[in-house]
């Protein structure tokens, strides 16, 4: 809770104008912030955001009638219904929304050990691991990310309200997945991080950013002293090394801590576990895949940088629960041991899919097959579809291209885009099946002893968007239902 006058003081450098400019206006109390007129309560500051589909200024009267006591606008509104309601006129309501939301919420990120994790792949896993380490260190920790809301990073009012809720609940720490969308749209502005973490950068979200260079710039924008004094950066990634150069040459107020899996020894990886030696301690995590060695190292190094003892951090990961849909091993409900492995992973970018398939390849015998089922989302970045097809064909022995969330697009049109990236050399082991359930069943049916089936793209998701009709669909449940019907004894293992 705050007053309009304090908000104006916060925005002094932004040349904000208050209408009407009066003592009464500056004394108006603001208890919450929203950009959604349906969420307005008495005491709310309503932010009039200008979007691609709607202009929030058109809902200002509705917001005031619902109880809004102030407005954040980009132009003065003159409707009679708004007479006397303080209007804070700014150059960009979106750019100012984050700091205002933080102020009204009581600057909650400053009351927590707050860590932001960004990168194309690995954000969810790193956050889950880091939270487990913090909890083992007796720091009650809240998580904001893909598994905990509709967006990876919520809009600023919801983000700050959630952080404030963590503080009120007695949490000592918070870990946040910070998406490129959130950075480009200023959702985390006003948040103060004790540390930020960079995992990697691949091809994704070019429908928003336009070019890989702009995508990188969006990610790099988190690594500034206005957000944090400490950056942990993966130097095994080319863009991580580039990011270090950018940060060290432009912001002397940030300390950079690089990390690399080359510093580890005795690394052992299976489909269900990773083990290695780190800082004199044995680390064992019940999650498979080579890429999770890097993810776990990011969590460990971040925790130590913030004061956790290495022994506590290493021990904490041994009890890590399954991270839903992240190289998650799937078995039958009745516990029968299957002669082949099945994993579900959220990989939905060319680099992410290539990494998952490489990890799968590394844990099976040389004469075993890697089988992948995947698709691409509709109404999203078209450019990555052929690249996904190329990654799948190069990384797997059998490829079944199917639907992901086609949304309003024709599923076969998406599949055809994916197929454009498949080299003729691999064409014989690539098939298309737009029905995702049948595609998963086909993959499990052709799997032989020792093989591994990778079901990629949707991970933890429990629905599928088919032409705007959202239906229940969980890759893990679907795979398990097929495995329940296919016991080792009933299989044709020839």
Tens of pLDDT, residue by residue over 351-364, are 999 999 999 999 99
What confidence score (pLDDT) does residue 182 get?
A: 94
Report CA Rg, the chain: 24
**Which whole-number Å values give the CA distances from 296 to 129, 276, 287, 299, 486, in the listed order?**
7, 10, 10, 5, 34
* Local confidence band at 53 (pLDDT 50, 70, 90 cut-offs): confident
CATH number attached to the domain at 2-103: 3.40.1390.10
Distance, in Å, from the CA atom of 344 to the CA atom of 460, rounded to the nearest integer, reads 8
What confidence score (pLDDT) does residue 392 get?
A: 98
Which residue reads 């995508």 in tokens? Answer: 215
Q: Mean pLDDT score of the chain, rounded to an integer?
A: 94
Q: Please report which helix (H) or strand (E) contains residue 60, including its range.
A: helix 60-65
* Local confidence band at 59 (pLDDT 50, 70, 90 cut-offs): very high
3-state class of 33 per DSSP?
strand
Cβ pair 308, 276 in contact under 8 A: no
Whether the predicted pLDDT of 109 surpasses 80: yes
Six-digit token string for 342: 């099945």
Domain boundaries defined on the chain: 2-103, 107-317, 328-490
What confidence score (pLDDT) does residue 493 get?
A: 41
Q: Name the DSSP class of 272.
A: S
Nearest-5° angle of CA 431, CA 432, CA 436?
125
Per-residue pLDDT tens for 149-180? 778 899 999 999 999 999 999 999 999 999 99
Whether the predicted pLDDT of 442 surpasses 50: yes
Of 89, 84, 71, 111, nearest in space to 11 by CA: 89
What confidence score (pLDDT) does residue 382 get?
A: 93
Pairing, β 141-144 against β 328-329: unpaired
Cβ pair 262, 236 in contact under 8 A: yes
Whether the predicted pLDDT of 488 surpasses 70: no
Distance, in Å, from the CA atom of 270 to the CA atom of 133, rounded to the nearest integer, reads 22
What confidence score (pLDDT) does residue 33 get?
A: 98
Average pLDDT over residues 243-270: 95
CA 72 to chain centre: 29
Of all residues in the chain, the percent with pLDDT exceeding 70 is 97
Q: Which long-range contacts (CB under 8 A, 24 or more apart) does 248-253 make?
A: 251/223, 251/224, 251/225, 253/225, 253/229
Six-digit token string for 293: 């060695």
Of 123, 126, 137, 72, nearest in space to 98 by CA: 72
Average pLDDT over residues 469-474: 97
Cβ pair 267, 244 in contact under 8 A: no
Distance, in Å, from the CA atom of 280 to the CA atom of 477, rounded to the nearest integer, reads 40
Nearest-5° angle of CA 237, CA 326, CA 178?
55
Distance, in Å, from the CA atom of 408 to the CA atom of 470, rounded to the nearest integer, reads 11
* Burial class, 168, CB count within 10 angstroms (exposed 0-12 / middle 13-18 / buried 19+): exposed
Of 211, 147, 219, 148, nearest in space to 181 by CA: 219
Provide the terminal-to-terminal Cα distance of the chain, rounded to the nearest Å.
Answer: 69
* Burial class, 112, CB count within 10 angstroms (exposed 0-12 / middle 13-18 / buried 19+): buried
3-state class of 135 per DSSP?
helix
What confidence score (pLDDT) does residue 210 get?
A: 63
What confidence score (pLDDT) does residue 334 get?
A: 82
pTM of the model: 0.90
Average pLDDT over residues 66-84: 97
Distance, in Å, from the CA atom of 159 to the CA atom of 202, rounded to the nearest integer, reads 26
CA 380 to chain centre: 16
**Which whole-number Å values give the CA distances from 92 to 47, 49, 189, 217, in the listed order?**
10, 8, 13, 20
Whether the predicted pLDDT of 63 surpasses 90: yes
What confidence score (pLDDT) does residue 494 get?
A: 41
Of 130, 151, 150, nearest in space to 142 by CA: 130
Per-residue pLDDT tens for 404-424? 999 999 999 999 999 999 999
On the CB side of 104, how many CA atoms lie within 13 Å of its CA?
Answer: 30
Average pLDDT over residues 345-351: 93
Distance, in Å, from the CA atom of 121 to the CA atom of 295, rounded to the nearest integer, reads 9
Average pLDDT over residues 275-300: 96
Report whether the peptide linkage leading into residue 20 is cis, meaning its omega lies within 30 degrees of zero.
yes
Whether the predicted pLDDT of 227 surpasses 80: yes
Whether the predicted pLDDT of 425 surpasses 70: yes
Nearest-5° angle of CA 193, CA 197, CA 202?
135
Pairing, β 274-278 against β 265-269: antiparallel
**Which whole-number Å values give the CA distances from 442 to 135, 268, 358, in the listed order?**
41, 31, 22
For residue 380, which phi and psi values (nearest 5 degrees)?
-135, -175
CATH number attached to the domain at 328-490: 3.90.190.20
Domain 107-317 has CATH 3.40.1190.10: yes
């Amino acid at each position: 809770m705050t007053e309009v006058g304090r908000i104006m003081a916060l925005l002094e450098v932004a040349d904000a104008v208050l209408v009407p400019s009066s003592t009464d206006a500056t004394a108006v109390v603001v208890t919450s912030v929203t950009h959604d007129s349906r969420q307005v309560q008495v005491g709310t500051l309503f932010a009039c955001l200008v979007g691609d589909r709607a202009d929030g200024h058109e809902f200002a009267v509705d917001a005031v009638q619902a109880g809004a006591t102030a407005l954040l606008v980009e132009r003065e509104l003159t409707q009679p219904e708004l007479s006397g309601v303080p209007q804070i006129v700014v150059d960009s309501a979106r750019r100012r929304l984050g700091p205002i939301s933080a102020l009204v919420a009581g600057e909650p990120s400053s009351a927590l050990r707050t860590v932001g994790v960004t990168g194309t792949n690995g954000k969810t896993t790193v956050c889950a691991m880091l939270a487990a380490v913090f909890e083992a260190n007796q720091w009650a920790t809240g998580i904001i990310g893909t598994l905990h809301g509709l967006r990876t990073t919520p809009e600023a009012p919801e983000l700050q309200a959630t952080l404030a809720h963590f503080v009120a609940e007695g949490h000592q720490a918070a870990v946040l997945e910070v998406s490129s969308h959130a950075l480009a749209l200023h959702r985390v502005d006003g948040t103060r991080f004790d540390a930020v973490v960079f995992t990697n950068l691949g091809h994704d979200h070019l429908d928003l950013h336009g070019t890989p260079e702009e995508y990188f710039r969006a990610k790099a924008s988190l690594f500034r002293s206005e957000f944090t004094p400490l950056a942990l950066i993966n130097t095994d990634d080319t863009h991580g090394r580039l990011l270090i150069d950018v940060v060290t040459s432009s912001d002397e107020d940030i300390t950079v801590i690089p990390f690399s899996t080359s510093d580890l020894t005795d690394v052992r990886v299976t489909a269900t576990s990773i083990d290695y030696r780190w800082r004199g301690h044995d680390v064992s995590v019940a999650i498979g895949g080579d890429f999770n060695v890097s993810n776990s190292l990011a969590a460990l190094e971040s925790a130590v940088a913030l004061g956790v003892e290495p022994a506590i951090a290493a021990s904490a990961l041994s009890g890590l629960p399954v991270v839903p849909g992240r190289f998650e091993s799937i078995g039958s409900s009745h516990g029968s041991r299957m002669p082949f492995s099945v994993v579900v992973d959220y990989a939905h970018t060319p680099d992410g899919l290539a990494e998952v398939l490489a990890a799968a390849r590394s844990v099976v015998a040389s004469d075993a097959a890697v089988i992948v089922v995947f698709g691409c989302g509709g109404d999203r970045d078209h450019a990555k579809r052929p690249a996904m097809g190329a990654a799948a064909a190069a990384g797997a022995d059998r490829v079944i291209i199917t639907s992901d969330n086609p949304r309003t697009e024709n599923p076969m049109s998406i599949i055809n885009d994916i197929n454009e990236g498949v080299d003729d050399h691999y064409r014989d082991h690539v098939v298309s099946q737009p029905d995702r359930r049948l595609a998963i069943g086909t993959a499990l049916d052709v799997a032989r002893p020792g093989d591994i089936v990778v079901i990629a793209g949707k991970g933890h998701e429990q629905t599928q968007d088919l032409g705007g009709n959202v239906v229940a669909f969980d890759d893990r449940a679907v795979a398990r239902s097929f495995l329940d019907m296919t016991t080792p004894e009933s299989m044709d293992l020839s």
